[in-house]
Amino acid sequence: MKSFDVVIIGGGLGGLSCGAILSKEGLGVCVLEKHSVVGGCLQSFRREGRTLDTGMHYVGSLSEGQIMHQYLKYFGVIDSLRLQKLDENGFDEFHFKDGTSYCHAMGYENFIETLASQFPDERSGLKTLCKTIQDIGDLISPEILLEGKLSADGIKYMSESAYQEIRKHLRSEKLRNVLAGNCRLYGGEKSVTSLYEYGMVTHSNIQGAYAFVDGSQQLADTLAEVIRSNGGEVCPNSEVLKIRLESNTVEYVETRDGERLQGKYIISSLHPVVTFSLLENNTVYKKAFFTRINSLKNTHGIFSTYLLTKRGTLKYVNRNNYMFNTQDVWATEGHYKGFNIPSVLMCMQPNHLSEHTEVVTLLAPMPLTYYQKWLHTKVENRGEEYREFKAEFSEAVIDFVAEFYPNIRSHIDKVYTASPLTYRDYTATPLGTAYGIVKDYRNPIVTHIPAKTRISNLLLTGQNLNIHGCIGTTVSSAVTSSEILGVEYLSKKIGNA
Ligand SMILES: Cc1cc2nc3c(=O)[nH]c(=O)nc-3n(C[C@H](O)[C@H](O)[C@H](O)COP(=O)(O)OP(=O)(O)OC[C@H]3O[C@@H](n4cnc5c(N)ncnc54)[C@H](O)[C@@H]3O)c2cc1C
């Protein structure tokens, strides 16, 4: 049986960044990925010679001196990534059916002044709300790392409501919606989303939002290279089917090929429900635990419509565009052409060879009721009715966007789609949830999953621990790795990189 210091299950951002940290710090690691390609939601795929991204369209805090930049500098990959800074005067633009539109600009002063130019009476409320957002973002700043901590205590913000906080500072209903306009980026829900999650995501983008030029796969590939160059192994086509326990310790993990691997530590980056379903010979966790973990709510899935444009016809626009069918950005219901489409996020793929974009991605939340009847099917094998449903839904999404961009159809060469079922089958997320477990401010302790488990050598990581996304998942990988390396040691290593 092969034996390692650390065996990591899952080669998405969570598993790869744990592998990069632990291999850099001298441990022998092995990352097991079920797919033929690593990356999970970072994966890009090719259609008609173009690069399409699955689940990483833009990332915040990437300017020098900011937290994501600092992590990527520590990994040793920052200089090899091809990144494009989004428009400083409007990295996100929010469009409403009444013809109004508003921008989130980069830098706090710019952010406040841009919105205050449209809502002059709200300048002071914008300032106080921004102060809170900044305080939240600073909980994981590079300065905190130098103090020997990965994060300052955020429980206060985890137990408060994002929606209520925004209401407290601003009087205009429209501006309140504009401030929460990015809530689709984290599956935000009015009644549950925490101020912590809102603040982390919003702060990072106000600081410095970037898109990957030619796809986010480059981040997965460079992290895999880091692991290999430090003597670690990254093994695609290695789906883990069993985590075998002996008393309260993992004895080995077993892959689909029947290979067994031992580790002093096992780290799983899979959704906790999936991780715990793989346990064999479990005497540690009782039925009540499984009932509780299985009952945690997950965010909605995403239906992605990829428009492959007629080459050289559509100028790249250096910002993301959110379009709403309702005045309430938190709404989960928005009737449109027979489908529930409350909002669509449009991201253009930057391309290093051209000022035109070759791929436009349209992201729309999709309710489970729409795809429930195909839950038993597998990718590429779901039948004609499913194909028709996907075609109809994507047509409705394009019509929706055409109400804001009337010429969009004239630029389309081909359309590809991915439903929450596609995400489920590729990344093994329960029911194709896009962002994992909903972090509920009314129950923060239960909905923020800890890295440590009651199994002595099993740790968890990935988007379900802290918050989802590039930054949340990367910070979680440091939190998990610090259980092995020590918090103070690791924080200072990252902070001083
Ligand atoms: C549509 C969409 C858009 C998004 N947009 C953004 C964005 O713009 N910015 C942002 O910051 N975040 C975005 N996110 C969120 C971000 O992509 C995720 O939070 C993050 O990539 C999750 O990383 P992870 O490693 O936790 O999980 P995953 O990426 O899901 O990785 C898990 C890995 O484990 C593998 N695996 C599963 N089961 C097994 C098994 N049994 N054995 C071995 N391997 C297994 C999977 O194949 C996968 O590679 C988006 C997500 C989605 C779905």
Q: How far is CA 41 from CA 174, 274, 302, 469, in A?
A: 33, 17, 12, 9
pLDDT digits (tens, 9 = 90+) for 150-177: 999 999 999 999 999 999 999 999 999 9
Eight-state DSSP code of residue 409: G
| Residue 56 beta carbon below 6 angstroms from any ligand 1 atom | yes
Is the pLDDT score of 467 beyond 90? no
Report the alpha-carbon distance of residue 219 to residue 22 in Å, rounded.
17
| CA 427 / ligand 1 centre spacing (Å) | 6
Report the alpha-carbon distance of residue 387 to residue 311 in Å, rounded.
26
In this prediction, residue 470 carries a pLDDT of 97
| Residue 8 beta carbon below 6 angstroms from any ligand 1 atom | no
Report the alpha-carbon distance of residue 462 to residue 358 in Å, rounded.
31
pLDDT digits (tens, 9 = 90+) for 346-369: 999 998 888 999 999 999 999 999
Is the pLDDT score of 448 beyond 90? no
| Residue 470 beta carbon below 6 angstroms from any ligand 1 atom | yes
Q: The domain 2-43+214-296+438-495 belongs to what CATH superfamily?
A: FAD/NAD(P)-binding domain (3.50.50.60)
Mutate to test the pocket of ligand 1, among 239, 427, 435 (most ligand atoms within 8 A of CB): 427
In this prediction, residue 250 carries a pLDDT of 98
In this prediction, residue 118 carries a pLDDT of 98
Task: Give the whole-number percent of the chain exceeding pLDDT 70.
Answer: 100
| Residue 460 beta carbon below 6 angstroms from any ligand 1 atom | no
8 Å CB contact between 423 and 363: no
Is the pLDDT score of 184 beyond 90? no
Give the number of the atom of ligand 1 that is nearest the alpha carbon of residue 241. Answer: 41
The mean pLDDT of 223-241, rounded to a whole number, is 98
Q: What does the domain layout of the chain look like in residue ranges?
A: 2-43+214-296+438-495
Tokens of 284: 């540690």
477 band by pLDDT with thresholds 50, 70 and 90? very high
In this prediction, residue 13 carries a pLDDT of 98
Is the pLDDT score of 379 beyond 90? no
| Residue 363 beta carbon below 6 angstroms from any ligand 1 atom | yes
3-state DSSP: the chain helix, strand, coil percent, rounded to 5?
A: 40, 25, 35
| CA 65 / ligand 1 centre spacing (Å) | 26
Report the alpha-carbon distance of residue 275 to residue 437 in Å, rounded.
14
The amino acid that residue 456 corresponds to is S
Please calculate the CA angle 12-16-20 and round it to the nearest 5 degrees: 170
| Residue 197 beta carbon below 6 angstroms from any ligand 1 atom | no
Mean model confidence pLDDT for the chain: 96
- pTM (whole model) above 0.95: yes
Is the pLDDT score of 186 beyond 90? no
Task: Identify the CA nearest to 247 among candidates 219, 291, 279, 211.
Answer: 279
Is the pLDDT score of 190 beyond 90? yes
The mean pLDDT of 49-54, rounded to a whole number, is 94
**Nearest residue by C-alpha to atom 46 in ligand 1:** 427
Q: Are strands 83-85 and 210-212 parallel, antiparallel or unpaired?
A: antiparallel
In sequence order, the β-bridge partners of residue 29 are 6
Report the alpha-carbon distance of residue 189 to residue 155 in Å, rounded.
19
224 band by pLDDT with thresholds 50, 70 and 90? very high
